[in-house]
Amino acid sequence: MNQAVETAMKLFHARGYDAVGVAELVAAFGITPPSFYAAFGNKAGLFARVLERYGDSDANLFAHARAKGGSVAAVITRVFLRAAELYPECDGVAGCLVLDGARNSTDPDARALTATAKHGARAELRDFIAAEYPQRADALAGFVTIALAGMSAAARDGADRASLDAFADSMGRAFRREAKGA
């Protein structure tokens, strides 16, 4: 089922949760609907597995940046630069699955799943920032998450790597200023 989750991840990332139906998924997986429901419970169950897989992948900007060590400002700058690298269109997919995969979804389960993922990522980011900037950690985490959401949206709208790199550099500098309380 790992291949099915990988296939679903690409479909949901490219077109969004609502635009991918169960009939398309079972056809892409080469299985029957009863097998689909036995494996995943429902479409939202599959989406939960997709989000988990996505969070464990190289798309986890924070984990990737944090693994290289350094100060909070250095890690956050790497987060922005990694977003600039990953968010532009690649193989027909742009932006972040967690930020955009269920945007405007009519399915409350899909929206709840992405909200939970966003909340967890923001809390992890806030806790990391608090190690150096405890008084400003919440505001700085908001700064980072809003900037990343903007970068993802811009990439989905066609922003290229050069534009996102320039923005990432600016956001790294802005983070440093904001962290100092300027």
Handedness of CA 123, 124, 129, 132 (dihedral sign): positive
Q: What is the pTM of this model?
A: 0.92
Residue 108 pLDDT grade (very low, low, confident, very high; cuts 50, 70, 90): very high
Distance CA 155, CA 97 (A): 12
Residue-wise pLDDT tens digits, 3-44? 999 999 999 999 999 999 999 999 999 999 999 999 999 999
Residue-wise pLDDT tens digits, 113-163? 999 999 999 999 999 999 999 999 999 999 999 999 999 999 999 999 999
Distance CA 80, CA 97 (A): 16
Distance CA 170, CA 182 (A): 15
**3-state secondary structure string across 74-129:** HHHHHHHHHHHHHCCCECCECCCHHHHCCCCCCCHHHHHHHHHHHHHHHHHHHHHH
Terminal-to-terminal C-alpha distance of the chain: 50
pLDDT score, position 182: 54
pLDDT score, position 140: 97
| Residue among 9, 41, 13 nearest 28 (CA) | 9
